[in-house]
Structure 1
Amino acid sequence: MTTPKAPRGATTRERLLRAAAEELVETGELEVAAVSRRAGASAGLPYRYFGTRSGLLIAVLDDFYQRLGDAAALRAYDAPTWAERERRRIRDWVMALYADPLAPLVLGGLVGDAEVATANTRHLHLLIELGARNIARAQRAGELQADRDSEFLAAATLGGTNAMLSVALTRPHRPPAEEIIAELWAVVRGAVGLPSAPAQ
């Protein structure tokens, strides 16, 4: 059985997105002409697919957050307790960002105009909303304190996670992923009020 081919337009769009991500990682900049050269495309082709340089940057951001969602944020974990599920999510979150060359740029504040900043904020708010619903379910189940604001907790844990990973990813010598996972879990556990784990 053969796998159906992606439509030509979708393939071209993916090629341009890949070239844009590579250009950002290598140079820290996004010049549309450089993306076209890297993709082996005509100078006007990115504008046909993305409209503007900002549109291309936003598409790169969207693609980045989709990968993060697939790897961790949108995953349903099969474990009996909230703590076990979220520890697994943190592991997958860290491993995904450690493996993604764009992560240091996105977490460090991708350079762009107000339109790009608005798109990034929209993604962050969606992640906070997902986190708040997740925490609220655990509160209703009696696994977390019910008197805490779930949205504030989600915002605090996401902000702390992104800040810690931004520091880790931009250090000259990255800390081992397992060390970051342990540090992040300690922060999240403390933020939501879970008791400390017993010493091993």
Structure 2
Amino acid sequence: MARAPIGRQQLLDAARDELVHAGGTLELSALTRRTGLSTGALYHHFGSKVGLLAAIWDDFYEGLSRSTADDRLPDDPAWAARERARTRCFVAYHFEHPLAWLLLNRTAPDPGLAEVEALYIRNLSEAAAANIRRGQTTGEIPLDLDPDSAGAFVIGGLRHGIAQQLRADPRPALDATADRLWRLTAAALHLR
């Protein structure tokens, strides 16, 4: 009986699992053994090993964007209440995603991914800056804060704060971590 072809998402899932299992490295030979397919199938779907890794990074960051999107947040008109909920979603995604520890605590397994990662971080920072501008419009954030610098600061702080919490043994509770990081964010933004 012929084996059904493995699809793109199945390959992504298997590669992500292999990356986690191997502590941040991805050997195509181990992946082909795990999935029972040839490297040709990987190249067919992703073009190269870097293409496969970039697809894994894309999947991670697209999931992060979906999990912190406005439609996932309460309809509270107060900027701070909504952003506190967004911070919790941001932390929860990282606490629940199997790759988060590796992405936040190790360098990318291939230099080609550094550019991909930098682009996603820049996009997150720009979205945070736009959001901070909305908070300034409502009067909840002082106008003298530069939103671009503040957005980069908030995203960098969240990423490094979550990385530190993911390294802790035992890992702190999700709600305690989200509260701790929100308090630091609120202080940095001088929320009124």
* Residue 173 (structure 2) pairs with residue 176 (structure 1): yes
Counterpart of 2:96 in structure 1 is: 99
Query: Which stretch shows the higher mean deviation, 34-43 or 85-94?
Result: 34-43
Unaligned runs of 5+ in 1: 1-7, 196-200
Given the superposition, is the C-alpha separation of residues 56 and 110 from structure 1 closer, same or farther in structure 2, using an over 3 Å criterion?
Answer: farther
What aligned pairs does 1:22-171 form with structure 2 within 5 A after superposition?
22-28=17-23, 29-72=25-68, 74-76=69-71, 77=73, 78-171=75-168
RMSD: 1.6
Q: Which has the higher contact order (CA 8 A, sep 6+)?
A: 2
Deviations 1:1-46 (A, max 9, x none): xxxxxxx99x711011001110111112111222222223222211
Could you report, residue by residue, the CA deviation over 1:45-78 in whole angstroms, capped at 9, with x for unpaired residues? 1111111211111110000011111111x33431
Cα-to-partner distance string for 1:87-140 (whole Å, 9 max, x where unaligned) = 000111111111111000111134333310000000000101111111111112
Question: Cα distance, 1:80 vs. partner?
Answer: 1.2
Q: 2:7 aligns with which of 12, 34, 41?
A: 12
Structure 1 range deviating more: 102-111 or 119-128? 102-111
Using the alignment, how far apart are the partners of 1:109 and 1:49 within structure 2?
26
Q: What CA distance in whole angstroms lies between the structure 2 residues aligned with 1:90 and 1:152?
A: 18
Question: How many equivalent pairs are there?
Answer: 186
The residue type paired with residue 9 of structure 2 is: E
Aligned with 2:7: secondary structure?
helix
Among all aligned residue pairs of Structure 1 and Structure 2, give the percentage whose two residues are the same amino acid. Answer: 36
Tell me what 2:186 maps to.
189
2:169 aligned counterpart, secondary structure: coil
Q: TM-score, normalised by structure 2?
A: 0.91
- Uncovered stretches (5+) of structure 2, i.e. residues with no partner: none
Q: Which residue of 2 aligns with 1:4?
A: none
Q: Mean Cα displacement is larger for which, 99-108 or 74-83?
A: 74-83
Aligned to 1:5: none
Moved more, 118-127 or 186-195: 186-195
Quote the Cα distance in structure 2 between the aligned partners of 1:53 and 1:19: 13
Show structure 1 runs of 4+ deviating over 4 A: none
CA distance in 2, matches of 1:39, 1:187: 44
Any idea what the Cα deviations from partners look like across 1:138-180, whole Å, max 9, x if unmatched? 1122121111110111111111111011111122310111111
Q: Counterpart of 1:60 in structure 2: which amino acid?
A: I
